[in-house]
Amino acid sequence: MFRLRGANFLPKVLLCPRKKMYLCAHKARKTDLAMKTVFKFSSSKLSQIPEHGKPEFAFIGRSNVGKSSLINMLSESKLAKVSATPGKTKLINHFLVDEKWWLVDLPGYGYALTSQTVRREFAKIITDYVTKAKGLHFLFVLVDSRHEPLKIDIDFIQLLGREGIPFGIVFTKTDKQSQKDTNRNIETYRQTLSEWWEELPPMFVTSSEKRRGRDEILGFINECLEAIEPSK
């Protein structure tokens, strides 16, 4: 289990018996998983999300981090609209995968070219979901592998730690630089987080262009699902 240094918290899954996904391994086995993914509904606030009884695996990141491309790569489709303009995702979008779990596309945080009112609205949508959503089992936080740790990402990760939200870090756009630069920035992230964390969260290295990381992320989710409902 990973936790903030000096923080007296346990992840929600250890406090709530129905959320046992945290027992799954941090390093998922590689497997070629196909997905049948269907868009179901969008919500502008948490209260609009209907009860559904299936686990939610959500994806979030700073605007223009490559979230839509990653979701499309995972689902092998064009579910999420890819745009060169940041801040296009403004709602909580739910996609049902294999009739078993929900892939949740959350609005990006930190898009500066919007009014303060809009930024506050986005912040409320995001905060309400990640801290209060009953169905949330795991949150994938996307960060751009080309950058060393940014304050906005670290602040969000620290929020998740304080709230005890189960999450992992997904490094995106690794095809845009050398493997040496990717490794250096990931190591910087590890060192930075180690200043506050006793154990580090799961980390995934991805490239939507090269389909890198798809098996690892989907394998991780599959192991989580097996932990929630062990195969008979």
Does some domain include residue 85?
A: yes
Instruction: Tally the domains of the chain.
Output: 1
Q: Which two tokens stand for residue 27?
A: 């390093």
The CATH number of residue 82's host domain is 3.40.50.300
Does some domain include residue 2?
A: no
Does some domain include residue 128?
A: yes
Instruction: Look up the domain containing 104 and give its range.
Output: 12-228
What residues in the chain have per-residue pLDDT under 70?
1-34, 81-89, 111-119, 230-232
pLDDT value for 132: 94
Does some domain include residue 4?
A: no
pLDDT value for 26: 44
pLDDT value for 197: 85
Minimal CA–CA distance to 12: which of 160, 169, 145, 121? 160
Does some domain include residue 5?
A: no
Does some domain include residue 177?
A: yes
Q: Answer for the pair 13, 20: CB distance below 8 angstroms, yes or no.
A: yes
Q: Each residue of 137-160: pLDDT tens digit?
A: 999 999 999 999 999 999 999 999
Distance (Å, rounded) from C-alpha 104 to C-alpha 119? 20
Classified as helix, coil or strand, 105 is strand
Q: Which residues pair with 163 in a beta bridge?
A: none
DSSP string for residues in 129-172: HHHH-TTEEEEEEEEETTSPPPHHHHHHHHHHHHHT--EEEEEE
| Residue in this structure with the two tokens 């923080």, named with its chain if needed | 7
pLDDT value for 63: 81
pTM of the entire structure?
A: 0.84
Q: Answer for the pair 207, 74: CB distance below 8 angstroms, yes or no.
A: no
pLDDT value for 120: 77
Distance (Å, rounded) from C-alpha 99 to C-alpha 151? 38
pLDDT value for 71: 94
Does some domain include residue 7?
A: no
pLDDT value for 206: 97
